[in-house]
Amino acid sequence: METDHINQLPIFAGLAQETRLDLARRSYIRALPAGHTLLLEGMPAESAYVLISGEARAFRMNREGRVQILARFKPGDPINIISLLNSDKRNRATIEALSPVTVLVIRSADFDALIARYPDFSNILLHHLADRLAKITDLAAGLSLFAVRARLARFLIELADLSPSSSGWTQDEIAAHIGTVRDVVGRLLRDFEAGGLIQRQRGQIILLDREKLIQAARE
Amino acid sequence: MSERTLPSINLSLCTRCNLCVSQCPELALIMANDGPTFVDLITCSYCGVCEELCPTGAIRAPSSVNWSVS
């Protein structure tokens, strides 16, 4: 049994060979185009995924079409773990591919069997859940405790501190991440530019002053 | 991103409300028969006002976010 696709995922680096072999037996790879909806919020949770290549996002949408991004996934990230572990086994969010993606798919029954048999597999998921819980806690705190201006400053700092992303960010996408709407993002970006915190060039938002941005993120 | 990149306009979402044309600070857009069109590659400064104002989200002007190197 080939385990190459398992071995290339850092999240599984700590797995014993026996676990890897069974995981390889119980999983398969799918390639999906950009824009493909992997999962729909509220539908039965049928599979867990691990992103092998590409980018994807998790979001919820209200009846007016307003979107809140809950997570953005990069290669190596597990997807839909919480939904499979939850008692109602429903997808907690919609997952959309932002680029062509390749995913490792683990069906629900196989996922349950792996958890039951391999403590090293469960341990990896436990660390992942702790990480997700920390991020969701930060998101909830940001949305409830900080003004939109502070959330935007924080988000720009986080983006710039990450390794360069292949995709650019529209005002709509930024708004969906920080819990606001596009025109507010546009106004605040102009405000930041007038204050010397950022500079906007064609297709680039350049952060000029880390101290001022950190200050804005705390207000 | 190329120096010559323009915001993209999804004409299937566009309602021809003319807001982008009337509010563009560079007068870089005109309303053509099939919808708003950039007059040329130079005039648009990629300021994002059209994207911000479009009521249907038909205009996209994506930007990368980076620290200044200086």
Mean pLDDT of chain A: 92
Rounded to whole angstroms, the Cα distance separating A123 from B14 reads 50
Provide the token pair at B30.
């005109």
Give all domains of chain A, ordered by start, each with its CATH number: 4-121 (2.60.120.10), 147-218 (1.10.10.10)
Integer angstrom CA distances of residue A116 from A18, A39, A130:
14, 25, 19
In the predicted model, what is the mean pLDDT of residues A59-70? 89
- A18 touches B at CB < 8 Å: no
Minimal C-alpha gap between A120 and chain B (Å): 38
pLDDT of amino acid A23 = 95
Name the residue among A164, A186, A210 with its Cβ closest to that of B48: A186
Name the more confident of B17 and B2: B17
Report the residue of chain B nearest A173, measured CA to CA: B62
Q: Does domain B8-60 have CATH number 3.40.50.300?
A: no
Name the residue among A161, A183, A200 with its Cβ closest to that of B53: A183
DSSP code per residue over A64-104: T--EEEEEEE-TT-EESHHHHHSTT-B-SSEEEESS-EEEE
pLDDT tens-place string over residues A118-169: 999 999 999 999 999 999 998 898 888 999 999 999 999 999 998 665 568 8
DSSP code per residue over B38-50: ES-TTT----SHH
Does the pLDDT at position A187 exceed 70? yes
ipTM: 0.82
Does the pLDDT at position B2 exceed 60? no
pLDDT of amino acid A167 = 66
In the predicted model, what is the mean pLDDT of residues A96-105? 94
Does the pLDDT at position A77 exceed 90? yes
Contact A155, A162 (CB under 8 A): no
